[in-house]
Amino acid sequence: MLLLIDHQSGLFQTVRDMEMTVLRANATTLAKVATLAKIPVITSASVPQGPNGPLIPEIHKYAPHAKYVAPTCAAKADCVSFSRRRTRRICSL
């Protein structure tokens, strides 16, 4: 399973360790490979209607089988708190 989180057009502009075109091409390649290999794809974004914009369209274009799952956290702080608890539980297994 391939999980793509927050691959939003607005967030791509904030990445500094690689060119935005390279990052976009990498995400697109992941979507293409997942489709070819028949790997399930799940996408999610914290607030796709917000200032960070929607997911880049290439993901669902090249992985049309991808399922979007909306986050269930009421606030970003809740998501971070849940994520930390979940990571701790996974790491302690």
Average pLDDT of the chain is 81
CATH code of 39's domain = 3.40.50.850
CA distance 46 to 5: 8
Sheet with 2-5, strands from edge to edge, namely 2-5, 41-44, 67-68
pLDDT the model gives residue 90: 40
Q: Are 13 and 20 in contact (CB under 8 A)?
A: yes
Tell whether the torsion through CA atoms of 66, 59, 19 and 9 is positive or negative: negative
**Which residue range is the domain that position 56 belongs to?**
2-92
φ/ψ (deg, to 5) at 37: -90, 0
What is the domain count for the chain? 1
pLDDT reading at 30 higher than 60: yes
CA distance 60 to 56: 8
pLDDT the model gives residue 89: 40
